[in-house]
Structure 1
Amino acid sequence: MRELLEAVADGSLSPAQAQAQLQGYVTDDAGRFDAARHDRRGIPEAILAEGKSVEQVVTLAETALETTDRALLTRISDRQYRTLASSLEESAPDATLERRGSTVRVYTPAHEPPTLEATVGIVTAGAVDEGVADEAHVVCADAGATIDRVDDIGVAALDRTLDQVDRLREADVLIVAAGREGALPTVVAGLVDTPVIGLPVSSGYGHGGDGEAALAGMLQSCTVLSVVNVDAGFVAGGQATLIARAIDAARN
């Protein structure tokens, strides 16, 4: 404790960093940031930008960078992203921003990117499903997994799926995103011996639209797969990361 206080006093440790070490989380005007989640769970806390003000998003991102040297933000709007990028030019000018769809990863030079000896295959049925898959993509890439992205192979033209079977079988874990009736994860799971995570997408319409039919179809799958909630790209990515980490540990 004394060393911690002395570090704060001499400026080598900020109050937020000290709080993160003592409590595992940091409290500020924007809420609480779980700085210890990666050490505890293997997956960092993501900052859900949707529903938050621009100021809250910026504050939480800066807190994440200060305490963990990286920040992961999901469902960020263009306005939120522009303001964040502008603010970080002053508060963290050496930080690197990477954006994929509505998901953003930020890290400082002090961050040591992890590496996993495991490949996550991320598959989409159509272009409309790619935004949700992007969220899972960034989560897995942030964890250090190798990503093999296979887009637009929906079952409306089954040859597109069958053409990619050998490639899909090489992955250690698969995330398969699909809307409409959600058939693609079921088909893929029947063709591979790899764990498959079904990711239903709210890309359908009419009866059973907004992902309801896709979710129900995946839950009723006669092939073995696990299923996350509608549009839950972060959860799918997190689950795939845990599997990839276990595979990496077994190989090493």
Structure 2
Amino acid sequence: MTQPDANLQNLLESVAAGEINPAVALEKLKHFAYEPVGDFARIDHHRKLRTGFPEVIWGQDKTPDQIAQIMTAMRQRSSVVMATRIESTVYAQLETKVAGLAYYPSARICAIAPANIEPEYPGTIGILSAGTADLPVAEEAAVTATLCGFQVQRLWDVGVAGIHRLLNNRHVIDSASVLIVVAGMEGALPSVVAGLADCPVIAVPTSIGYGASFGGLAPLLTMLNSCAAGVGVVNIDNGFGAAILAGQILRTAAKLNRL
């Protein structure tokens, strides 16, 4: 018996003997289980129990064989297994190793998931992109949120260079419970949106732009210096992180409604 298995048995025996009450045992379990995969990974199976969201595989810089082994282990305990930053050439190798794998090319995400995922939480995450070139990051956010059980509404190519495109779609802003706004170049769109919205705005700078955008640093600084209140900023090109933050906001709201 491995050490984690022995610890789990001891914990269960303590609950059965009345030495530990179930509530205390649950708290201990939140920080308990992980599973080694080869000599290169330790899967955190209880992350969803602790944080509300399961562990997600960062695909970039891993080999296809490592990703396949991790996904195979994770699917034993989760109905949705997701890997981010998966290029099409890597997916071509993965689909020969992992059965039932879906690929979202714009988002560069592959996943094992049900064909239809019903929203698990109330509310809508509105996702806006300034330009078409920002779509990979915006789609990473959209696909992540959908796979995590949230309703998503997309609105693409509504940057400030043609502000009428945004204003003609005010209904997307007005109907959202939380907004993710993705922009490169000078990164002005989140400030404009936050001046119109009555919900939290998560700004995502992208590395799209000419030389003086410094690979996304210029829009990042613009967003951090926003004059609009209620704007939070994630790292450059981090659509995944924006989706998880938006999800945590909606999960917290649902939790408060149950109190």
- TM value normalised by structure 2: 0.82
The 1:201/1:37 distance shift into structure 2, 3 A limit, reads: same
Residue ranges of structure 2 left out of the alignment (5+ in a row): 10-28
Identity percentage over the alignment?
35
Q: What is the deviation of 1:97?
A: 2.1
4+ long deviations beyond 4 Å: 111-114
1:115-154 equivalence runs, <5 A: 115-154=120-159
- Correspondence for 1:84 among 88, 94, 100: 94
Distance 1:113 1:67, change over 3 A: farther
Secondary structure, counterpart of 2:81 in structure 1: strand
Whose radius of gyration is greater, 1 or 2?
A: 2
C-alpha distance after superposition, 1:143-185 (max 9, x if no partner): 2111000000000011011111232111000000000110001
RMSD of aligned residue pairs (Cα, Å): 2.4
Which residue, 83, 95, 104 being the options, matches 1:73?
83
The aligned amino acid for 2:68 is V
* Number of the residue aligned with 1:232: 238
Partners of 1:55 and 1:161 lie apart in 2 by: 44
Match of 1:36 in 2: 46
Worse overlay, 203-212 or 48-57: 203-212
Structure 1, unmatched stretches of 5+, are 6-19, 90-94
Secondary structure, counterpart of 1:51 in structure 2? coil
Work out which of the residue numbers 36, 61, 78 in structure 2 matches 1:27: 36
Indicate the larger mover: 214-223 or 49-58. Answer: 49-58
Q: 1:58 — aligned with what?
A: 68
* Matching of residue 190 in structure 1 with residue 200 in structure 2: no
Which residue type is aligned with residue 36 of structure 2? T
Q: CA deviation at 1:250?
A: 4.5
Measure, in 2, the Cα distance between the counterparts of 1:115 and 1:76: 26
Alignment match, 2:21: none
**Greater relative CO (CA pairs within 8 A, separation 6+):** 1
- Is the Cα–Cα contact under 8 Å of residues 117 and 251 in structure 1 kept in the other structure? no
Query: Does residue 246 of the first structure (1) align with residue 252 of the second (2)?
Result: yes
Shift of the alpha carbon at 1:200? Answer: 0.5
Please give the alpha-carbon distance, in whole angstroms, between the structure 2 residues aligned to 1:122 and 1:112. Answer: 18
In structure 2, distance between residues paired with 1:112 and 1:203: 31
Secondary structure of the 1:27 match is strand
Gap change, CA 1:187 and 1:22, over 3 Å in 2: closer
Cα distance in 2, alignment partners of residues 160 and 100 from structure 1: 26
SS of the counterpart of 1:140? helix
Equivalent residues of 1:49, 1:75 under 8 A apart: yes
CA contact (8 A) 2:113 2:147 kept: no
Equivalent residue letter for 2:252: A
SS in 2 for 1:72: strand
Distance change in 2, residues 1:112/1:78 (3 Å) = closer
Matched, 1:216 2:226: no
TM value normalised by structure 1:
0.84
- How many residue pairs were aligned? 231
Q: Tell which deviates more after alignment, 97-106 or 207-216.
A: 97-106
